[in-house]
Structure 1
Amino acid sequence: MSTDRYQKVTPDHLRRDAFLYVRQSSLRQVFENTESTKRQYALRDRAVSLGWPIERIHVIDSDLGLSGSSAQHRDGFQHLVSEVAIGHAGIVLGLEVSRLARNNADWHRLIELAALTQTLILDEDGVYDPAYFNDRLLLGLKGTMSEAELHVLKARLQGGMRNKARRGELELPLPIGLVYHPDGSVVLDPDQQIQDSLRLLFETYRQTQSASMVVRRFRREGWLFPRRIARGIGKGEVHWGELNTSRALQILHNPRYAGAFVYGRTRVGRKADMTATQLKVDQADWQVLIRDAHVGYINWAEFERNQLSLKQSATAFGNLSRGTMPREGVGLLQGRVICGLCGKRMRVRYQEVSGKIEPYYVCLDDSAHRAGKPCQSIRGRGIDDTISDLLLETVAPAAIEVALAVEDEIAERIEQANAMRTKQVERARYDAELARRRYMHVDPANRMVADALEADWNHRLRQLDALQQEHDRQRQSDQGLLGDEARARIRALAEDFAVVWNDERIEPVERKRMLGLLVEDVTLVKAQRISIQVRFRGGRTTSLVTDRPRPIAAIRKTLPDVVRTVDELLETCTDRQVALRLNELGYTNWRGQSFTFKKVTTIRIAYHLPSRFERLRKRGMLTGDELARQLGVSTTTIHIWGRAGFLKRHLYGNKHRCLYEPLNNVVLVPGKGGRKPTSPTFIVAQPTEQGAI
């Protein structure tokens, strides 16, 4: 073996450099398995004995603490491969194959490059030339065994963990609110504020069935939520901060809060860049599920109900998303409308109409998935009103019970909020007292430390004062909600469910939640009229038919009675007088506004009604200029005589715009001196047989 070993090392190999690759799988091995590291560095002596000078032996140890399961993120191994590929390496040294790679793809790539560049590989057993078939076969077997060894090690460790998990004895990291007792059992966190925060989260979700509503309530009330540091600096410490939706969803999806021991909720997968990622596993595929294994904040039945409601809350196309949780917006049937043409769920689109936000129920399934046209789009205001009337007829007998339940719920929420704020004040008072004790125990001569502790004490006192003031203010506000006047108002509303339903103080999301307790879904078909199929909880159905919403052009169109009245009034009135007369008769436009001169003019032009001027001219009325030419006087004189009442005139515009009745067979008798009199004298001329005057 030794002779063969030295025959493989040729002068050509010695002209190139030697590369020693050193690796440990984890930082723990680097600090604890020091002998293995020393053995790897000792391979430099083997290279020296083969003829390489010490200054040409390069040690690559930048991969210490990295796993050899993949070449990804191993810069040292990538550098080694590049040196082999360009022919700089005469020999590659490694304690064993597993130090170089535990992945056959990486290992065989290195062997291929070494064979092409005539590079030797050395381990504790000897020197190998990948260009020789026997050596290459042996190196391949060693690589396969190294990869299999990694699998065996993992299987052995995971088998022991699974066996312990089947008994429910495997200690897994616990979420916030649960801790391990010294005897190994799982108990609730002894911090009462942490318990109350989690109970309040589950209670709020039980009432709202929405994780977003839970977060909004915590933000609105100013409540903080705990978070335990899992790793790094401050590991195990509890920090208080704002609750976000992602955190709330993690808690609602975690079965440990239901008292269940679970193993195998996630598995490790690989992304396109071969980086590890956590993949969720369906509940049916969990490896271990032991219900009631320890105490929890909710029971298993409630946990399953929460999972179902969370699944329904996911916004998506298709039948599975029917009955989604109530959200913002005035559309009453949001999430419960089914297209009667294709059977898919209709979505809600909001549009501003006349300064108001109006809902439209639109089926976009074909448009979204097949680039087609929407099946149907229906304005939702009339549909919502029809369903509201149906609900008022259905649930009116239970109105009193509903209102009393609302009163009890308000009282319970106020008590919960007061308890949470009291816990926050107590914690702030404890932090301030702790800061005071730290300051009192410091050496007064050490001013640098004393000043910092004094500043921290003052900061804690300011936080305590702000929390106390906010607590007092909120408590006074809550007392108004529970006062006698508020209770009397709630009981008064209970006598008429219609008043409760139509009360402006009721948020749209609350109406949707009440609707969801009674209605499963509503199917719409838009034709000449809109067909409504209502399916109640329990299977009972009701069919309704309503008129299609009028187009906005038809809504804005002036009523025929108004047009007819305007036409009649124009015979004797001007546009301005017509507007006044219409207002006296109680007419309004489509917006409920009174008529003005401009509105009447617009109606007259739109419906091609003859104007007052045209009507007077048709009846033979003359303008001032025409009558002046007939009488041989100036136009000004005609207007003066008209205002004095000597001529009969008819107004068609403002006070100065008028037409005059014609003076047939009448002549003007002039005064003395040829001057026309101020008070004209008219005589009737008798025509001759030839028609001359």
Structure 2
Amino acid sequence: MGKPDIRRIAPKPQRLKRVRVAAYARVSTDHERQLSSIAAQVSYYSHLIHSTLGWEYAGVFIDEGVTGTSTKHRDEFHEMMGSARAGGIDIVLCKSISRLARNTVDLLETVRELRTLGVTIRFERENIDTATADGELLLTLLASFAQEESRSMSKNVKWGIRKKYATGGLHSRQPYGYKYKASDLVIVEDEAEVVKRVFTQFLVGESPEAIAEELNSEGIKPRRGKAFQGQVLRKILENETYTGTVILQQHYRPEIANAAVTVNTGELPRYLVTRSHPPIISPDQFQAVRDELTRRRQLGRGATPSARTCGLTSRIECSVCGRFYHRRTKTRRDKRYKFWWCETATKGKGNPCHAPQIRHTLLTNICADTLGWTEWDDEQALHQLKRMIAHPDGTLTIHTTTSDTPVVVNIHENRQS
């Protein structure tokens, strides 16, 4: 028997496992230079992932114009995390730690969650890979430096803004009707015409909601968003900027991490600057609007009838919880009708007050009969109706300015008649 022939069996070629790779980038402002940097990063990471053997493109996630001190308002960041949780990412590439987070707590929470999901992060500038043993220690140290750098930069920016305020300089104030040209506010003519219209129509008795609805029906759009809202027009009516005057440093951000902007009630100096820029509204018209706003607030929310308010608004009270009745619309097959119901019941948590629903037409007929009118009149209701109290048994106590004795009616009896 001869010598055995021994040959090594070559292993079968392993199928290359493709690694799903994503990248994350962020800039804190919409400045053109930073947006150009973002475009370069997107191009760089897309090419890197597509050209690396064994890598599979899992997306490039970009947040533009958002701060790194919190992850709360970063939509693309949350989309990336959602993809990781769904098992769609194995590696995340990031230019630097500060691009992912300037807050140490947020950074470590993110890294640790991704690690439990089997996802690693590679930070290019710091040359850190969270897959390594010493990755988290380095991250903790470097993230602390990034957080302190962010705090220092924030202080410097705030100092510059406050020095600017002290000399009458504007900062980031670009209300509807104006735009910046160099460092000056200039009038945008078509928007200024809308502003003038809002002030004029308000003074002749229209509500901000009615004006907004009219503008929207004509296809006139705000600078941002799809449609005008009543609350936005109220801010326009209350903004002294339209008279060419500004009050600087009305708000500020406290020196606390992630603090919200708050009203300045004397914590910092405020500055009144007149003839700061061209006016759209005269001081007399602005003061007239201010006086009218005060008058309507004293009368109550329903002081000016509109598409959303009427002479009954804020005048119907629930006898059980004391909240106002709200007007709602109900659709049944092809029929639509308006009705009033206690605010507690309209919140979708049942009807603990046992408050009766009252149809709008029935309620206006009852009030017109009580006040001796031939038909309902919103404007007269503002002056003659004090308040109404709705009871669970269907009775309605009506207090008017024309009589010291309230009138009690039964809505069920009136509905039958």
SS in 1 for 2:355: coil
Between Structure 1 and Structure 2, how many residues are aligned? 352
Residue 76 of structure 2 aligns with which residue? 73
Instruction: Tell me by how many angstroms 1:515 deviates.
Output: 3.6
Residue 13 of structure 2 aligns with which residue? none
| Pair 336,166 (structure 1): closer, same or farther in 2 beyond 3 Å | farther
Distance 1:30 1:367 in 2: 49
Determine which of 383, 389, 393 is the counterpart of 2:367. 383
Distance 2:324 2:298 in 1: 13
SS in 1 for 2:400: strand
Residue 8 of structure 2 aligns with which residue? none
Distance 1:122 1:289 in 2: 45
User: Which structure has the larger Rg over C-alpha atoms?
Assistant: 1
Q: Aligned ranges for residues 452-463 of structure 1 at < 5 Å?
A: none
What is the one-letter code of the residue matched to 2:368? D
Q: Contact 1:338/1:522 (CA < 8 Å) preserved in 2?
A: yes
- Residue by residue over 1:431-470, the C-alpha shift from the partner in whole angstroms, topping out at 9 and shown as x without a partner, is xxxxxxxxxxxxxxxxxxxxxxxxxxxxxxxxxxxxxxxx
SS in 2 for 1:521: strand
What is the one-letter code of the residue matched to 2:202? Y
Does residue 378 of structure 2 align to residue 512 of structure 1? yes
SS in 1 for 2:204: helix
SS in 2 for 1:522: strand
CA RMSD, Structure 1 to Structure 2 (Å) = 6.4
Q: Aligned ranges for residues 24-423 of structure 1 at < 5 Å?
A: 25=27, 28-29=33-34, 62=60, 69=68, 73=76, 97-98=97-98, 102-104=102-104, 105-107=106-108, 110=111, 137-165=137-165, 167-178=167-178, 186=185, 188=187, 191=189, 195-215=192-212, 225=220, 244-246=227-229, 249-254=231-236, 255=239, 256-257=241-242, 259-261=245-247, 290=272, 295-297=279-281, 299=283, 301-302=287-288, 304=290, 323=302, 325-327=304-306, 333-338=312-317, 343-346=322-325, 364-365=342-343, 367-368=345-346, 370-374=351-355, 380-388=364-372
Q: Contact 1:22/1:63 (CA < 8 Å) preserved in 2?
A: yes
Distance 1:93 1:385 in 2: 74
Q: Contact 1:24/1:65 (CA < 8 Å) preserved in 2?
A: yes
What is the one-letter code of the residue matched to 1:172? S
Distance 2:23 2:363 in 1: 72
Distance 1:95 1:331 in 2: 57
Instruction: Tell me by how many angstroms 1:72 deviates.
Output: 6.4
Distance 1:514 1:525 in 2: 21
- Overall identity of the aligned pairs, in %: 15
Q: Contact 1:129/1:136 (CA < 8 Å) preserved in 2?
A: yes
Unaligned runs of 5+ in 2: 1-18, 254-259, 331-335
Bigger helix share: 1
What is the one-letter code of the residue matched to 2:197? L
| Pair 252,201 (structure 1): closer, same or farther in 2 beyond 3 Å | same
Does residue 387 of structure 2 align to residue 522 of structure 1? yes
Distance 1:201 1:102 in 2: 43
Instruction: Tell me by how many angstroms 1:164 deviates.
Output: 2.4
SS in 2 for 1:200: helix
| Pair 263,534 (structure 1): closer, same or farther in 2 beyond 3 Å | same
- Residue by residue over 1:297-332, the C-alpha shift from the partner in whole angstroms, topping out at 9 and shown as x without a partner, is 26564555576689899xxxxxxx764642469986
Q: Contact 1:338/1:521 (CA < 8 Å) preserved in 2?
A: no
Q: Aligned ranges for residues 635-654 of structure 1 at < 5 Å?
A: none
SS in 2 for 1:213: helix
Distance 1:97 1:336 in 2: 57
- Residue by residue over 1:556-600, the C-alpha shift from the partner in whole angstroms, topping out at 9 and shown as x without a partner, is xxxxxxxxxxxxxxxxxxxxxxxxxxxxxxxxxxxxxxxxxxxxx
Unaligned runs of 5+ in 1: 1-16, 45-53, 231-242, 268-278, 314-320, 352-356, 390-501, 556-693
SS in 2 for 1:208: coil
Instruction: Tell me by how many angstroms 1:160 deviates.
Output: 2.1
Residue 400 of structure 2 aligns with which residue? 534
- Residue by residue over 1:498-524, the C-alpha shift from the partner in whole angstroms, topping out at 9 and shown as x without a partner, is xxxx6x8xxx5xx322442x3462345
TM (norm. structure 2) is: 0.54
Instruction: Tell me by how many angstroms 1:204 deviates.
Output: 0.8
Q: Contact 1:115/1:131 (CA < 8 Å) preserved in 2?
A: no
Instruction: Tell me by how many angstroms 1:144 deviates.
Output: 1.5
